[in-house]
Structure 1
Amino acid sequence: MPIKDIVSNPHSPWMDGTGPEADIVISSRVRVARNLAGLPFPHMLNQIRAEEVIRAVQAAINGREFRQKVGHMELIRMKDLTPVERQVLVEKHLISPDLLESYEHKAVAISADEVLSVMINEEDHLRLQCLLPGFQLQRAWELVSRLDDGLEATLDYAFDEKLGYLTACPTNVGTGLRASVMLHLPGLVLVDQVKSVLGTITKFGLTVRGLYGEGTEAKGNLFQVSNQITLGQTEEDIMANLVSVTRQLLAQERAAREALYRERKDQLEDRVGRAYGLLKHARMMTSEEAIRLLSDLRLGIDLGIIKNIPAPLVIELMVLTRPAFLVKVVGKELSPVERDVYRAQLIRKKLSAAQQT
């Protein structure tokens, strides 16, 4: 799928809900940071050298060996996308918010299935990413490793025998690997345990962020858990640690949900029912209200309280009702009030269609 079509489609494979443990683990992501030897880091690049990086990546992904190993990827410069299209890529988690800053000499390459992407001239020359549905960290690592090998066949990476891969941020030096899982943890939030549970994982070298990464809030009871340090650890150590901690979080979230359903069934069903009713009938809805209600609806679906709405639709609606996507769908700039009206309208329409299938 061409990138211009990707920004018009609210769905991405990571929203499918088809992966293991998909009732709690929404997605698994692996990123690696790489830089080209002999070039300054992006924050020190002039326009000519920045364009040199883009051309080098374009040549690499166009090579026959790369396409045989990885497949087709389309590269597009950020300046060739509209502001709304750039924001849509962020809302779909295909690029980071950092790629939007001073974007004139930045680019992204994306596979047709949206599983693989390469951010160019972000914090590092290259940020390679794989994003999959459910708990598939190992598979994501395998795919991003294949992408890494495909690029390294023609690109000369900045590498030190002692330190490993050299990166702009010292915390990424070594493997350059950042692995993360996006978790839906409404049970732990409702039993008031989420702060204590997530607070302890920092002892394991992990960090917790919001829906869109560093510096963002955990809206909709969605949390990103990722490794914090790459230097001095192997890729296998990083992945094993994150997998182990995630499995513990899965057990704790399931225990919290079971306790809620056993001890507060009426309150839980009332909360889910009210969320469903508002989503089906409200005429105006803010972004924050929508994601909160959609989180409650998703919990109701996972617990079998709501039976006629597919779980993946809820995650798709969380993306589709973000401001940039609403503008893309409507085809014009919207005032805050207009956004709230269209958001509610879109949710009603999607839920109604789901009930009829």
Structure 2
Amino acid sequence: MLHTILDEALSPWMKESDLDHRIVLSSRIRLARNFKGIPFTNRGDISDLTKVDGYMRSMITPLQTVYGKSFSKINLESLSAVERDVLVEKHLISPNLATPSSGRSVIISEDSRISIMVNEEDHLRIQSMELGLQLEKAYERAIAIDDVIESKYDYAFSKEFGYLTACPTNVGTGMRASVMVHVPALSMTGKLQRIIRSIIRMGYSVRGLYGEGSEGLGHVYQISNQQTMGISEQATIEQLSQIIQGVVKEEEKARAELWTTDKEGIEDKVWRSYGILTHARRISGEEALALLSDVQLGIDMKLIDVTMNFHEMLVITRPNFLAKLVGKESMGTQERDSQRAQVIRDTLLRGLKGGKS
């Protein structure tokens, strides 16, 4: 199972094709939890971390029973730095968990829809992911996992404050709901920053592809809640869903505007980007995502007849997955850019021929 997780760009849950996720790429629910009577990760010693790890080792069978799929527990110290970073690039662990430290592990379901980070900032970070705008479904899965763990081990919980967490900003529900969107037209029409400011004023955050501190590479952004106290999980999900629906409408309007005001111009941009990607011999990760974003927009608007899975391209162009893909974990910048260009050319060529991309 580890081989599949590290070597395949598309996690099984990403292969579902019955949903329209052109603008809304995915939804995620993350629950921060700590066990009662054990110091938080940043205050605990190795015996505390080992105890947490032992708790979760004992939960593998119950998790498999409630979810109906097998789980694998991966000791992060057993992985190379590149392998840990591949898990970050696939959004299965946080950048924080990838940093070397004793007692850290991750438990991942066979479909990679569920991942449980062990001894991150909190004892547990329970994560559930779905394609498109499916926050409610992601929440139901996360809560099912949460309930089975809490049925065996007590969490640190206060009747006054809710779930207790290492960072005060997570106290309460301990829930972060986030949605990943692809909004190139809003950027092209100059409307994106206004919308981002509006979302922030509503108490939600807008971050890049890899969360806090990352940039909006490829016009991909994560929109998530910041408030975890004084609001229920259901209310948070409803509010965020409404915000995302509004973003989708604005992106659709921006795409319609591009179509009516300068169809040839957007066609030119899309085909230029496709031309560069199918002929470039070296390309950086940042440029690749920008051009792939243009091509995906062209596919969405039916301006270019190419088969491409944007989820796959977001992964295979990342430096660490690319290194695993070509079987060479140590590469200089020029060699990495050359390998990235070739992988993109090959993938797009298969898509053009109607092959499996």
Which TM-score band (shorter chain)?
A: over 0.9
Alignment deviations for residues 126-156 of structure 1 (CA, whole Å, 9 cap, x no partner): 0000111111111101111111111112121
Contact 1:17 1:26 in 2 (8 A): no
Any residues of structure 2 matched to 1:17-166 within 5 Å, and which?
18=17, 20-63=19-62, 66-71=63-68, 72-166=70-164
Alignment deviations for residues 195-218 of structure 1 (CA, whole Å, 9 cap, x no partner): 011111122221100000011111
Contact 1:60 1:155 in 2 (8 A): no
Distance in structure 2 (CA, Å) of the matches to 1:102 and 1:349: 35
- Matched AA of 1:42: T
Distance in structure 1 (CA, Å) of the matches to 2:12 and 2:258: 31
Distance in structure 1 (CA, Å) of the matches to 2:83 and 2:93: 11
Greater CA drift, 100-109 or 281-290: 100-109
2:319 aligns to what? 323
- Matched AA of 2:49: A
2:275 aligns to what? 277
Contact 1:19 1:135 in 2 (8 A): no
1:347 aligns with 2:355: no
Distance in structure 2 (CA, Å) of the matches to 1:13 and 1:106: 24
2:185 aligns to what? 187
Q: Unaligned 5+ residue runs, structure 1?
A: none
Alignment deviations for residues 304-352 of structure 1 (CA, whole Å, 9 cap, x no partner): 0112223xx2321121111101110122211100001000000111111
1:235 aligns with 2:233: yes
1:299 aligns with 2:297: yes
Distance in structure 2 (CA, Å) of the matches to 1:235 and 1:77: 31
Any residues of structure 2 matched to 1:191-206 within 5 Å, and which?
191-206=189-204
Contact 2:77 2:100 in 1 (8 A): no
C-alpha displacement of 1:21: 4.1
Greater CA drift, 12-21 or 339-348: 12-21
Distance in structure 2 (CA, Å) of the matches to 1:346 and 1:197: 35
Contact 1:107 1:120 in 2 (8 A): yes
Contact 2:34 2:155 in 1 (8 A): yes
Contact 2:114 2:126 in 1 (8 A): yes
TM normalised by structure 1 equals: 0.96
Distance in structure 1 (CA, Å) of the matches to 2:120 and 2:114: 16
- Matched AA of 1:22: H
Distance in structure 2 (CA, Å) of the matches to 1:316 and 1:234: 34
Pick aligned residue for 2:170 from 161, 169, 172: 172
1:337 aligns to what? 334
Alignment deviations for residues 11-35 of structure 1 (CA, whole Å, 9 cap, x no partner): 1245446364401001100000000
Secondary structure of the residue aligned to 1:7 is: helix
Distance in structure 1 (CA, Å) of the matches to 2:32 and 2:55: 16
1:4 aligns with 2:3: yes
Distance in structure 2 (CA, Å) of the matches to 1:21 and 1:179: 20
- Matched AA of 2:315: V
Contact 1:26 1:182 in 2 (8 A): yes
Distance in structure 2 (CA, Å) of the matches to 1:287 and 1:229: 33
Distance in structure 1 (CA, Å) of the matches to 2:74 and 2:227: 31
| Structure 1 vs Structure 2 CA RMSD | 1.2
C-alpha displacement of 1:103: 2.8
Contact 1:14 1:27 in 2 (8 A): no
Distance in structure 1 (CA, Å) of the matches to 2:315 and 2:189: 27
C-alpha displacement of 1:51: 1.1
Aligned length: 352
Identity of aligned residues (%): 43
Contact 1:21 1:135 in 2 (8 A): no
- Matched AA of 2:189: V
- Matched AA of 2:5: I
Pick aligned residue for 2:261 from 260, 263, 279: 263
Secondary structure of the residue aligned to 1:174 is: coil
Alignment deviations for residues 200-244 of structure 1 (CA, whole Å, 9 cap, x no partner): 112222110000001111110000000011011111111011011
Contact 2:208 2:215 in 1 (8 A): yes
TM normalised by structure 2 equals: 0.96
For the structure 1 residues 189 and 17, does the alpha-carbon distance in structure 2 shift closer, same or farther, using more than 3 Å as the test?
farther
